[in-house]
Structure 1
Amino acid sequence: MPSSFNVESADGYEQLMGRWSRRLAPMLIDFAGLADGDHVIDVGCGTGSLAFTLAERPGLREIAAIDYSPVFVAAAQARNTDPRITIQQADACALPFENDRFDRAISLLVLHFVPEAGKAVAEMARVVRAGGVVAAAVWDHYGGMSGMRMMWDTVVMLDENALPLRRKYCFQPMMRPGEMKNSFIARGLADVEETSLLIRMDYLSFDDYWQPIAAGEGPLGRYVAGLEPEKRKAVDAAVRAAYEAGEPDGPRSFASVAWACRGRVPEAG
């Protein structure tokens, strides 16, 4: 099942989101819990933020990572120096592992880009043993991503063609309150808990904030890359004005909230 996330380059993704997912990864790991000797699967590893943070725990026995994008897989493989980590291209909705293979399945900032996200949750549950844990986090695009919403809300004031794109961005799968929890329960997981995790996205300047979008990364980047020159110039100027907010260009910090959910695979019978 292909991801709906637009990938131009691994380096571009790192500037757009990878640096922030590394801040979120330890919080999701703490929420999911770990035990010495665990076999863990990272579903949708991207450039490796979660997998390499997991590898900081010496007691883990295995970290298997998959991603749908060959661009991300190649970048993560190139970075990997830990023999416990294996990285391969695979579909989150059809994981290439047998039943009960892992102690925990964790997915960081992936399920909202999977069109049939419930299938991915079911697959995570399938490959985790009875008593093991399934955990995931997705951004709260509608209510918790102030820096990214600022971009979209600025763009739609200039171009009504961006309205359906903003709606799609704000209400991707698993993003509404309780949606991920309900999906976990519907896939037979027990003791399901949902919470929110907060980080801050700290930018050095407008260019630091806007450059990966201007280069075509992610959903908004794909839209911007398709604009005709005059409209593109207007969008660039309007988003800069929103970022600066009447002050000189320089550092800005945006609160960013993710929904997180975990559940336990029930014992048979």
Structure 2
Amino acid sequence: MTSTFNVGKAAGYEQLMGRWSKRLAPLFINFAGLADGERILDVGCGTGSLTFALPQVANVREVAAIDFSSVFVDEANRLNTDPRIQIQQGDATSLTFPDAYFDRALALLVLHFVPEAGRAIGEMRRVVRPGGVVAAAVWDHLGGMPVMRMMLDTLAVIDENARALRSRYCFQPMMQPNEMKQSFIEQGLHDVEETQLLIRMDYESFDDYWQPITSGEGPLGKYAAGLEPAMRAKADAAVRDAYEAGRPDGSRSFVSVARACRGTVAELAKATRAD
């Protein structure tokens, strides 16, 4: 098992997170860099938010995309119309590609769901050529996701299980300051930089916000879908009150911050000197 993300239906994931990862993808590509003619690996492609954005930014030679979930792979393949893009099921901690094959290996919103995240970073470094780039981004669940903290903090008051979930959710791998940067360095990457990427998540109504979670997608969805009827009703009312904040139901907008990290695979001469 190399992913802790709970997957149900592709459409449910799109409403929960896919629509927001589409907003984040261009910012991430700008940070990670991209050039015409490159071979790119997308690790943890989901339904293709990053995969399909790459050829829109540069005339890439090839995009190889993998995901642990067959649900995501099937949906991304259904959507794919670009012969340069190949999508398959795969394990981030045991990539099947040859050494030094890609110009860049990218992972958008996936490493925090990989129990052996450091190993996945090492695999990304292995398959990228000397001088190439490895880059990743994860949400800052503790301090940069008020849209989810609002829900978790509200539920934690009424349910001890939600308190435990909040602790796990806020401290998933690679989310703390410099944690991902240090892992990049430990995996042999050079010139490592970390930054923050910011988008806004805009919801039309409480149902637009809450329904994707109660449908069972992701770790929060798994919790909500498992509630007994009485607790579910209590949770619905409490989270609605937090969302509405004393005003009529309607649109709400939340800032969301991702931590992003980028490193370079050592040139052969530099690697020899380091030995």
TMscore range, shorter length? over 0.9
- C-alpha distance in structure 1 between counterparts of 2:42 and 2:62, whole Å: 11
- C-alpha distance in structure 1 between counterparts of 2:243 and 2:86, whole Å: 40
Deviation at 1:8, TM superposition (A): 1.0
Letter aligned with residue 102 of structure 2 = F
Identity %: 69
Normalising to structure 1: TM-score of the pair?
0.99
Deviation at 1:169, TM superposition (A): 0.2
- C-alpha distance in structure 1 between counterparts of 2:163 and 2:242, whole Å: 18
1:266 is matched with which residue? Answer: 266
1:167 is matched with which residue? Answer: 167
Deviation at 1:58, TM superposition (A): 4.5
1:36 is matched with which residue? Answer: 36
2:194 is matched with which residue? Answer: 194
Deviation at 1:106, TM superposition (A): 0.5
Q: Which runs of 5+ in 2 are unaligned?
A: none
- C-alpha distance in structure 2 between counterparts of 1:235 and 1:83, whole Å: 46
Deviation at 1:2, TM superposition (A): 2.2
Q: Is residue 34–residue 58 contact of structure 2 (8 Å, CA) maintained in 1? A: no
- Aligned-partner SS, 1:75: helix
1:66 is matched with which residue? Answer: 66
Moved more, 153-162 or 245-254: 153-162
- C-alpha distance in structure 2 between counterparts of 1:255 and 1:174, whole Å: 20
Q: Deviations over 1:81-107 (max 9, x none)?
A: 000000000000001100001000010
2:223 is matched with which residue? Answer: 223
Deviation at 1:118, TM superposition (A): 0.3
- C-alpha distance in structure 2 between counterparts of 1:59 and 1:213, whole Å: 37
Normalising to structure 2: TM-score of the pair?
0.97
Letter aligned with residue 140 of structure 2 = D
- Aligned-partner SS, 1:118: helix
1:138 is aligned to 2:164: no
1:57 is matched with which residue? Answer: 57
Q: Is residue 144–residue 256 contact of structure 2 (8 Å, CA) maintained in 1? A: yes
- C-alpha distance in structure 2 between counterparts of 1:107 and 1:68, whole Å: 13
- C-alpha distance in structure 2 between counterparts of 1:145 and 1:57, whole Å: 27
2:233 is matched with which residue? Answer: 233
- Aligned-partner SS, 1:50: coil
Q: Deviations over 1:176-197 (max 9, x none)?
A: 0000000000000000000000
- Aligned-partner SS, 2:191: strand
Q: Which runs of 5+ in 1 are unaligned?
A: none
